[in-house]
Structure 1
Amino acid sequence: MSLIYSITSTITRNIEDMLRNSFLFTIIFKIFEFIENEWVNSYFKSLYPGENFLSIFKKSRIMKEEIFSPLIVLVTFTLFLLLATDPVSRDLQIVILIAFISFFIGSIIFPRFILNNQSNDNSEKNKNNQIPLFNTKDIHSIGFCLTLIGIIFLFISIASVGGLPILKSSLRYSLKPMFTMPVFLVIPGIGLIASHYLNQFKRGKINRSQVRFRFLILTAIGMITVLTLEYRTPIIAILLMMIIIAYCGEILSVWEVIIGAFIGVCAIMGIGYLRSLNELAISSNTSMFSTLEHRANFTMHVLNLLNQISGNFGILHGKMIASSMPGSDLGPRMLVGKLIAWRTEVTVTPTLLGQMIVDFGKLGVALEMCLLGFILGTGYKIIKVTKDSFYIAIYSLILTYTILGVETGILDIPVLSYFFVISFIYLAAILKDKGIRIY
């Protein structure tokens, strides 16, 4: 791992240094620096509500410290179930209960048995067992390059369809995945950059107003990038990830988190409503909330059908998750369409449990939800132990996609790659805690 990290950080640092010294990027950063100074010293900033605004929310320990623990996934799933007004079968209710119990065990119980050798003791023995920490300048360089790749492929995607999908919705269906997938690297990219700014804030190099402004700029850059292609889920991913990083880094107040979540829900309903109108899927008399309700009902109906055909041990035995790999004839969501309706030209979201049920049935739900809970529980425990900004960023990334996956599932190859890489980092931390040397 150290060799891969060393090579990656060296290459990305050289690229960042070269670009930062170029005329174009010098002008861009000068402009951002000027705007930041104007904002920090602005009179209007003083009109913004302070940290103690709506302080009633701070009285709750859960609201103040534990909003984004792994259990937020179960809360989100419960709200999704409540949103779906159509009843589900008794057998699916059992599956959902198994999923909840397994996730709870994996995220809350199992992490209690790991990473228990961390202390403030600086003896040589304890140093050998400490969770590995990363140079935030290296992390910033990696995030900078990922963001740059995303923006470059944004222009390539626009050029490939000859226009802006946000201005002409039909162009979105002409976008090529080989060009659009790299665009989404902007999401982990801005998350890693944000972790560097958060670390600078913790070390007193920048003040609270500066770090908040930089988070706002990063969020705007990411959202504008993916909004140009008229994608909905990545917009919510960026907003949610940055909120989680800011909350865990203690630069965002509880009331701001609540308002941010409300804005996110409104964005989901609004974008979905406008897209449905443009595609003539609904009439203008249909409310935004009803479109969200219909979507939840449809998705739960899909899960119910998948459960009926999968039994206790599944029917594809890993083929659905494998279909996420590039080069597969059908993607996982197209495979769902084939299974329930024999239609391969549509993509169907199967919820977080859909792939687990189809591949390995109820057994798969129990094992995979426990594993997913353990990954998130490990990440949450690491940030509680280290307070490290890098671990906050990567935990926020996978928690974000798990929350979004409640409806869509975790089926995209970039997202699966994030989970794989981050799980490997967590494994390295666990082994280091046990005193096992890593090369």
Structure 2
Amino acid sequence: MDLLKKYLDNERIEGHHLFLIFTSLFIVISSVSYYSGMLALFSAMVFYISFVVGKRLYSILGLNTLNEGTSNLKDKIKYNINYSKHTIFGLILMIFGLTFIVLDILWAGGIPLLDLTSKKNLSPLYTMLSRLLILGWAIVVASKLSLNKKKIIIYSFIFSSTIMLLGYRTSVMVMLMSILFIIYYSNKIKNRELIFFTIGIFMLLLFLSILKLYILGSGGIPLVSRIDLTMSVFDIIAHNFNGVFNGYLTYSAIYSYLGKSLGPRTIIANSIGIHDVTITPTIFGAVIGDYGTLGIVPYFGLLGIFMGLFYRISKNFKGIYLGVYSVILSYLLIAIETGILDLDVIIYYVFGFLLCIYVILKKFINK
């Protein structure tokens, strides 16, 4: 019992742990076939191992000599980390995000949360830019290391309520999850508090799911029905569309925002004979549909190495690094259902990769 208590107090729960746990839950809860379930589990294991490799790469590259062990703001200033600039950058992103939330609602002619018909009129571009509020707030919280935990939680719920007006649960979940990761990896909360807050976020998601089912007049078990549907789509892709799309889903994720392609989730829906709706394929379905079963190893291998390396960087440098990492980790966990098929999310991953490159170059330039 004491050993368990010590573990709950001291050991860090990291991204690869969460990805494997969430993937396992999706497999257990759904009625996915054994074949597809094993593919998903194998993908998660590749990511898990690669994440550990990425963490190790941080030390191999000697990045730990840059900022390892510095836990307060004064120490970090010595390494030319200007948290004030990070904060200002985050605030600018927040202003852009809030502005485009207002513009998106005006464009739609109603508040999508209260009027589902107006949700169809939302501008994809405005909606994408409105999510800058999430990234901006995450960067601000990660940069202002002295910010009070209670204030962080209160403001996070206020901003979550604001972005909730657009009617997308995913944005709300990413906002809350990313802030939770920031305060967790900043050592402001311990494992037991993390579990407590996670349960709270889950209950909120459950409430939003029940509310949506009620508004739509649909039946089914909240969350479970959604997971089962998504995994069944993955099952179809794994058996019938293995490598068929040849990268077109990724292409459409980018070019659909330019009006040159249908959205990837629309393409998947149309491919399985469903029209007028979008369908999420899971991250596994998107990868297998685009690159085939053989694409699992390079995709999740490279993704895991990147996330492991970025985790170590963000944990030690905080600021914009931790803000961006927490957002893309949140999107990654949600992508277990949705896939990484949104232009802004892809841009966030590219941004995170560039931050890693910057830190690596800084190491060797300062030699």
TM-score by length of 2: 0.88
Cα distance per residue 1:41-74 (max 9 Å; x no partner): xxxxxxxxxxxxxx97983436633213432111
Give the whole-Å Cα distance in 2 for the aligned partners of 1:432 and 1:70.
Answer: 27
1:300 corresponds to 2:231: yes
Give the whole-Å Cα distance in 1 for the aligned partners of 2:119 and 2:9.
Answer: 39
Larger Rg: 1
- What is the identity, as a one-letter code, of the residue corresponding to 2:139? L
1:388 corresponds to 2:308: no
Q: How far did 1:180 drift?
A: 1.7
Give the whole-Å Cα distance in 1 for the aligned partners of 2:269 and 2:3.
Answer: 43
Q: How far did 1:76 drift?
A: 1.1
Q: How far did 1:83 drift?
A: 1.7
Match for residue 171 of structure 2? 234
Match for residue 18 of structure 2? 72
266, 275, 281: which one pairs with 2:212?
Answer: 275
Give the whole-Å Cα distance in 1 for the aligned partners of 2:351 and 2:298.
Answer: 20
1:330 corresponds to 2:330: no
- What is the identity, as a one-letter code, of the residue corresponding to 1:252? I
5 Å-filtered alignment, 1:27-426, equals: 59-61=5-7, 64-84=10-30, 86-90=31-35, 92-116=36-60, 117-118=62-63, 134-198=81-145, 201=146, 211-282=148-219, 290-311=221-242, 314-325=243-254, 326=257, 327-341=259-273, 343-384=274-315, 386-426=316-356
Cα distance per residue 1:64-102 (max 9 Å; x no partner): 332134321111111122221x14142x23422431232
Give the whole-Å Cα distance in 2 for the aligned partners of 1:146 and 1:180.
Answer: 14
Cα distance per residue 1:180-202 (max 9 Å; x no partner): 2211110001001112222xx2x
Structure 1: 5+ residue stretches without partners? 1-54, 123-130, 202-209
Q: How far did 1:220 drift?
A: 2.4
What percentage of aligned pairs have identical amino acids?
Answer: 26
> Does the Cα contact within 8 Å between 1:194 and 1:218 map onto a contact in 2?
no
> Does the Cα contact within 8 Å between 2:32 and 2:235 map onto a contact in 1?
no
Match for residue 75 of structure 2? none
Give the whole-Å Cα distance in 2 for the aligned partners of 1:182 and 1:118.
Answer: 33
> Does the Cα contact within 8 Å between 2:111 and 2:165 map onto a contact in 1?
yes
Give the whole-Å Cα distance in 1 for the aligned partners of 2:66 and 2:118.
Answer: 59
Give the whole-Å Cα distance in 1 for the aligned partners of 2:293 and 2:362.
Answer: 34
Structure 2: 5+ residue stretches without partners? 68-77
Q: How far did 1:321 drift?
A: 0.4
Give the whole-Å Cα distance in 1 for the aligned partners of 2:64 and 2:233.
Answer: 48
- What is the identity, as a one-letter code, of the residue corresponding to 2:282? T
The 1:87/1:415 distance shift into structure 2, 3 A limit, reads closer
SS for the counterpart of 2:253 is coil
> Does the Cα contact within 8 Å between 2:8 and 2:192 map onto a contact in 1?
no
Cα distance per residue 1:111-147 (max 9 Å; x no partner): 423443245599xxxxxxxx97531111111111111
Q: How far did 1:416 drift?
A: 0.5
Aligned alpha-carbon RMSD (Å): 2.5
Give the whole-Å Cα distance in 1 for the aligned partners of 2:160 and 2:5.
Answer: 33
The 1:94/1:121 distance shift into structure 2, 3 A limit, reads closer
- What is the identity, as a one-letter code, of the residue corresponding to 2:5? K
Match for residue 74 of structure 2? none
- What is the identity, as a one-letter code, of the residue corresponding to 1:246? I
> Does the Cα contact within 8 Å between 2:90 and 2:140 map onto a contact in 1?
yes
Give the whole-Å Cα distance in 2 for the aligned partners of 1:215 and 1:195.
Answer: 10
Number of residue pairs aligned between Structure 1 and Structure 2: 353
The 1:56/1:238 distance shift into structure 2, 3 A limit, reads farther
SS for the counterpart of 2:272 is helix
Cα distance per residue 1:305-359 (max 9 Å; x no partner): 0011234xx1122111010112232111111102222x34211011111211011
